[in-house]
Amino acid sequence: MSAPLCEIPDLACQLHKLLGQVPAGRVTTYGALAEALGNRIAARWVGHFVLHHEHGPGCPCHRVVRADGRLGQYIDGGEKAKAQRLADEAVEVRQGAVDLDRYEYRHFISEKPLEKLRKVQEALASKVSLRPRRRVPKLVGGVDVSYPGPDEGVAAYALVETAGGRLVWSTTVRRRVMFPYISTYLSFRELPILLDLLGEVRAAGRLSRVLLVDGSGILHQRHAGIATHLGVAASLPTIGVTKKLLCGRVDLEDMQPEQSRPVVYEDRLTGVALRSTAGSRRPIFISPGHLLDVGYAERLVRRLLVGRRLPEPLYWADRLSRARGRI
């Protein structure tokens, strides 16, 4: 098994350092902090972190406000307490808001870790090989990760028979998860635990020839979703299956049961939407991860559908990871 292709940064530590740069008498915004981390898409996580982090007497988190200058929530006493702390630092608060033109601080010194991770994804995309395959394996594995706590993950592997979908073997691992959930960066949250899981599966001699992953393959803003990242890192043929469309264009109007439609992103066929059952009007989205193509990905997923919305390897992996998380 090859390396994860990068060292995953401690994003919480990086954010703490940025918060420490905001001087008394100034404020910053969730979006500005996310930009200093390397991508504004992280603003939602920044807001969640500021509201739920380990808070102490000297913490400067009261200096973070919303993009329009409104104060927003505060971990230590609500908006009123936040306004008082800012007033104590000579920041004028009028009608629950701060004048950003006057008080905003943006001169951050940062390593921009998310920008570095984006470059890792772009480099990874160049390593992907999409090739046609013919043989359908008798057994197919699927992996999924659930989260019983904010910093803990349970990864499950389920091996099923292609004909009929019978579960024949499974295993799970439970690990601490260091990287937060940030849209388009899921790989860096789940890759370490999934590589640990596949290490145990290999040792048991149960690794399938093709692996289904709960997550995107090349149907991703940088053509490098978790199914692609895992496939390249582990040198495995992988298929990504998601319940939500991360990017791309597809016509979902009046889809019939078992019908599929192409998903195009950046003028390239990157996957298909498939309405897998009559009981669900919401399609699943299938894309190749590595070492196979769109046509094969769809064909194999269809073979693994037995009346449920998800193909059997992912149905069982999801169920097993959640069950282990409740223990």
- State the pLDDT at residue 268: 97
Band of residue 7 on the pLDDT scale cut at 50, 70, 90: confident
Q: Under a CB-based contact definition with an 8 Å cutoff, are residues 300 and 240 in contact?
A: no
CA distance 174 to 178: 13
Query: pLDDT tens for residues 189-208?
Result: 999 999 999 999 999 999 99
Query: pLDDT tens for residues 259-280?
Result: 999 999 999 999 999 999 999 9
Structure tokens at 71: 């104060």
Which residues have CB under 8 Å from 306's CB, separation 6+? 164, 165, 312
Per the rule left: phi > 0, alpha: psi between -120 and 50, beta: everything else, 112 is: left
For residues 124-138, average pLDDT: 96
Count of CB atoms situated within 10 Å of the CB of 295: 13
Please state which CATH number belongs to domain 11-119: 1.10.10.10
pTM score, whole prediction: 0.94
13 is catalytic: no
Q: Is the pLDDT of residue 4 over 70?
A: no
Domain boundaries, the chain: 11-119, 127-325
- State the pLDDT at residue 5: 58
Please state which CATH number belongs to domain 127-325: 3.30.2170.10
Calculate the average pLDDT of the chain: 96
DSSP letter string, 193-248: HHHHHHHHHHHTT---SSEEEES-SS-STTS--HHHHHHHHHT--EEEEESS--S-
The active-site residue, picked from 13, 59, 61, 247, is 61
